[in-house]
Amino acid sequence: MEKLLEGFGAKVFSETVMKEKLPSPVYKKWKETLSKRDALDRTTADAIAHAMKEWALAQGCTHYTHWFQPLNGTTAEKHDAFLDKSNDEPILKFSGKNLIKGEPDASSFPSGGLRATFEARGYTYWDCTSPVFIKDNILCIPTVFVSFKGEALDAKEPLIRSCEVISKAAVRLCNAFGDKDVSEVKPVIGLEQEYFLVDKDKFLKREDLLFTGKTLFGALPPKGQELETHYFGTIPERVHAFMKEVNERLWELGIYAKNEHNEVAPAQFELAPIFSEANVAIDQNHLIMEILQTTALKHNLVCLLHEKPYQGVNGSGKHNNWSLVTNTGVNLLDPGKNPHENVQFLVVMCAVIKAVDTYPELIRLFSSCPGNDYRLGANEAPPAIISIFLGEVIEKVLEQLEDNKPSTYEKNSLKEFGISTLSYLPKDNSDRNRTSPVAFTGNKFEFRSLGSSMSASKLNVTINTIVAETLNEICDTLEAHKYRQDVRKAALDICVDIIKNHRRILFSGDGYSSYWVEEATKRGLPNIKTFVESIKYMEEKKSYEVFMKMGVYTKEEFFARVDIMYENYYKIKSIEIKTMIDMAMNKIIPLANKNIALYASSAPYTPHSITKRIENIVAYIDSTYSSIQELKNILTASASFETYKEKGFYLLNHAYPFLDKMRKEYDDIEEVFDYSLMTYPKYDELLYSIDY
Ligand code: ADP
Ligand code: MG
């Protein structure tokens, strides 16, 4: 254990390391700059760069990189050696300028039209709110990525803006309640990462997994997840060895990897670190995803981050636990012992309710990606309808508030639950309701619709921005009152108002039931079935204006993201279709033919059941050929549209029936295919290869 602590964070240029390695005036200057969010002066930057270089070289680094998050949803790095040439001699060099600013040739990253080719340059700037670290002997400097004109070309810059926006709004609120010590409020998040593992040799035999990250064909084996024996079960030995190595690598990077367990589906697992500041947590989640993938390979495994690798068993999400913490250490979503008297808590809670109910389409979209379509709204995951589950206790408090019941009554009623602290009870309640896309879990909101493969950035940009807008509106009213009692009274009135007007978003029943789909429609809640349809909602003024008003995205930045999402959808869907065609043509139909030959070889003695099988396979082949032809035509037709939006909608409206048909027909016929003739693994081999 001591060794663990010794090694923890060894690869992070943390504040402690800075304090130790930097001359005191430089360290002080850096701290001051950071707290004021000023630009670093050249001398300080040079001194920090020098210390960083020495530290990195001592750990065996040869290169550095500006590590950034372009709009393709992943991270990017271009390595530069410390090696340089001076008077024909090799030297090692890393200056303040190298640290602060980079100019990657960024013309191939998606920019949604933000960068015309004549000004295709992008610039990276050090984001000193997230620590520098070493990965594979490369010194990685987290940076924001912006265009020549300063437009955000990445996922990080808007996130930082949104953190500032929510901080200002929440500080206003605390100050309005008389807490003048609060000068900064940080959104903190904990991201639970779900993933699947599959044997690498098996993975490589499936084009669908290789090219799309999911299986496009395959019937469930006799045993799926119905016995729920995998969930929290003993972790298979091979996986345990993998997890151990993942943890070691994460701990070195100062990431508090805390929980690991088997998830619901066979071969599905979860890793959760301890929550941290949003910006750092999202950087670290990128590292977690990368390390899961690279470490898996070392164990001859492949880590699947896709939202729905297998049909018929649970998909993977990335639960996004979100709360707000003040510089004085208070979690604004902590109800404390007496939530009914904790007016400030109630206001923040209601602000989230109002924000989510005002912008459910934004939450829906920004937790989605093409892969999440197979998971959201499917009957095994949070539905595409956004609703909030508060838990019995908090709901009761809000109800009483609305009914204007005296607080003594509330107190008694709370005692009925027989608990002294409330913070754990709602959590238990919400665990019972795992069907809700947004749940209040004790002292945080858990947004569960986010896809497992996605960057958590856009969702948190959205949550921060819309909650900030609501808090600002509330503060406009509260700040008009001078006395504390009046502020509390006004705040309670606002809460009552919000509950009355936004009750429709609250739902504690079974989110997977058909009852809820009907009920939600009655309540007027949007049920946007697919990712591409949800992008369209962004064209409504209501969707984009809030970001502009709050200064988080400019209109150009926002619509650049919309364009990229359309493009992404079309490209991903096209790859799926092409892969499906390719697999059917080159693997499945030949297999079907071999089976016909096999069955036919017993011809003289053929019983009726065998002839029937041959007929079925022949019919299957014919039908598949015709679907393939249809899909090819649809792909060609889609390409002729001008915009990605049109192309995407064309696929949505035309290709889906054939994709479904092809899959269903294959899944039905698979059981008659002779096992020994198959050149690719079936579901049972994929799902159970690492457990047993
Ligand atoms: P589960 O959802 O499986 O019950 P937990 O509630 O223990 O698990 O935590 C899930 C994640 O939420 C973890 O990453 C944890 O660090 C994080 N978390 C816990 N408290 C907070 C909080 N106040 N704000 C944000 N995240 C939190
Ligand atoms: Mg959870």
Q: What is the mean pLDDT of each run of 10 residues along the chain (692 residues)?
A: 85 95 94 84 94 96 95 91 94 94 80 67 90 96 91 94 98 97 98 97 97 96 73 85 96 96 91 97 98 97 97 93 98 91 95 98 95 76 85 86 61 39 40 78 95 97 98 97 93 95 93 89 94 94 96 95 96 98 97 93 75 93 98 98 97 95 96 93 92 62
Distance CA 304, CA 196 (A): 5
**In the prediction, which pLDDT does 418 show?**
35
Angle formed at CA 634 by CA 632 and CA 639, multiple of 5 degrees: 100
| Ligand 1 atom closest to Cα of residue 272 | 14
Nearest-ligand number for the alpha carbon of 331? 1
Distance 319 CA to ligand 2 centre (A): 6
Distance 599 CA to ligand 1 centre (A): 56
Indicate whether residue 321 lines ligand 1 (CB < 6 A).
yes
Identify the three-state secondary structure at position 407.
Answer: helix
Selection from 165, 285, 295 nearest residue 240 by Cα: 295
Burial of residue 345, with CB atoms counted within 10 A of its CB: 0-12 exposed, 13-18 middle, 19 or more buried? buried
Identify the three-state secondary structure at position 187.
Answer: strand
**In the prediction, which pLDDT does 113 show?**
74
Indicate whether residue 46 lines ligand 1 (CB < 6 A).
no
Characterize the bridge pairing of strands 438-440 and 388-389.
parallel
Characterize the bridge pairing of strands 83-86 and 79-81.
unpaired
What b/e sequence results for 645-665 when a residue is b if at least 16 CB atoms lie within 10 Å of its CB, and e otherwise? bebbbbbbebbeebbebbbeb
Residues 6+ apart with CB under 8 A from 28: none
Measure Cα distances from 94 to 29, 82, 434, 467 in Å: 20, 6, 50, 41
**In the prediction, which pLDDT does 435 show?**
80
The alpha carbon of 120 is separated from its chain's Cα centroid by a whole number of angstroms, namely: 29
Distance CA 387, CA 117 (A): 43
Indicate whether residue 76 lines ligand 1 (CB < 6 A).
no
Q: Looking at residue 201, what DSSP letter applies? A: H
Two structure tokens written together for 508? 């504690």
Nearest-ligand number for the alpha carbon of 325? 1
| Ligand 1 atom closest to Cα of residue 334 | 23
Indicate whether residue 443 lines ligand 1 (CB < 6 A).
yes
Indicate whether residue 190 lines ligand 1 (CB < 6 A).
yes
Characterize the bridge pairing of strands 79-81 and 63-67.
antiparallel
Which residue, judged by its Cα, is nearest atom 6 of ligand 1? 441
Distance 234 CA to ligand 2 centre (A): 20
Distance CA 142, CA 283 (A): 8
Distance CA 488, CA 368 (A): 38
**In the prediction, which pLDDT does 428 show?**
43
Long-range contacts of 19-25 (CB under 8 A, 24+ apart): 21/51, 21/54, 21/55, 22/47, 22/48, 22/51, 23/47
Indicate whether residue 275 lines ligand 1 (CB < 6 A).
yes
Nearest-ligand number for the alpha carbon of 434? 2
262: enclosing H helix or E strand: strand 257-262
Strand partners, 134: 139
Distance 350 CA to ligand 1 centre (A): 20
**In the prediction, which pLDDT does 117 show?**
53
Angle formed at CA 103 by CA 101 and CA 105, multiple of 5 degrees: 160
Burial of residue 348, with CB atoms counted within 10 A of its CB: 0-12 exposed, 13-18 middle, 19 or more buried? buried
Measure Cα distances from 349 to 98, 276, 467, 473 in Å: 44, 20, 10, 14
Using most ligand atoms within 8 A of CB, pick from 444, 463, 467 the residue to mutate for ligand 1.
444
Distance CA 513, CA 410 (A): 32
Distance CA 262, CA 271 (A): 9
Burial of residue 265, with CB atoms counted within 10 A of its CB: 0-12 exposed, 13-18 middle, 19 or more buried? buried
**In the prediction, which pLDDT does 424 show?**
37
Distance CA 262, CA 238 (A): 13
State the sign of the Cα–Cα–Cα–Cα dihedral 452, 458, 463, 466: negative
| Ligand 1 atom closest to Cα of residue 331 | 23
**In the prediction, which pLDDT does 38 show?**
80
Contact predicate 677/591, CB 8 Å: yes
Cβ count within 10 A of residue 304: 27
Distance 430 CA to ligand 2 centre (A): 9
Indicate whether residue 284 lines ligand 1 (CB < 6 A).
no
Contact predicate 140/134, CB 8 Å: yes
Q: pTM of the full predicted structure?
A: 0.94
Helices (H), 22-125: 24-36, 42-58, 96-100
Two structure tokens written together for 685? 């081999």
Total count of residues recorded for the chain: 692
Indicate whether residue 323 lines ligand 1 (CB < 6 A).
yes
Distance CA 585, CA 290 (A): 33
Residues 6+ apart with CB under 8 A from 243: 235, 260, 269, 271
Cβ count within 10 A of residue 424: 12
Q: Looking at residue 236, what DSSP letter applies? A: P
Which residue, judged by its Cα, is nearest atom 17 of ligand 1? 190
Cβ count within 10 A of residue 274: 12
Distance 334 CA to ligand 1 centre (A): 13
Indicate whether residue 188 lines ligand 1 (CB < 6 A).
yes
**Helices 656-669 and 555-583, axial angle in degrees (round to 10):** 40
Using most ligand atoms within 8 A of CB, pick from 258, 277, 285, 321 the residue to mutate for ligand 1.
321
Q: Looking at residue 428, what DSSP letter applies? A: H
Using most ligand atoms within 8 A of CB, pick from 191, 193, 275, 318 the residue to mutate for ligand 1.
275
Distance CA 217, CA 583 (A): 9
Place of tokens 């400030």: 344
Two structure tokens written together for 45? 């930057």
Contact predicate 208/580, CB 8 Å: yes
Indicate whether residue 65 lines ligand 1 (CB < 6 A).
no
**Helices 457-478 and 156-176, axial angle in degrees (round to 10):** 20
Indicate whether residue 441 lines ligand 1 (CB < 6 A).
yes
Distance 528 CA to ligand 2 centre (A): 24
Indicate whether residue 440 lines ligand 1 (CB < 6 A).
no
Contact predicate 281/159, CB 8 Å: no
Distance 192 CA to ligand 2 centre (A): 7
Angle formed at CA 350 by CA 345 and CA 353, multiple of 5 degrees: 135
Distance 379 CA to ligand 2 centre (A): 19
State the sign of the Cα–Cα–Cα–Cα dihedral 32, 34, 39, 40: positive
One-letter amino acid of 226:
E
| Ligand 1 atom closest to Cα of residue 275 | 16
Distance 465 CA to ligand 1 centre (A): 21
| Ligand 1 atom closest to Cα of residue 192 | 14
Distance 441 CA to ligand 1 centre (A): 8
**In the prediction, which pLDDT does 318 show?**
96
Angle formed at CA 452 by CA 448 and CA 458, multiple of 5 degrees: 70
Identify the three-state secondary structure at position 134.
Answer: strand
Phi and psi at 304, nearest 5°, equal -100, 120
Dihedral angle of Cα 374, 378, 383, 389, to the nearest 10 degrees:
-110
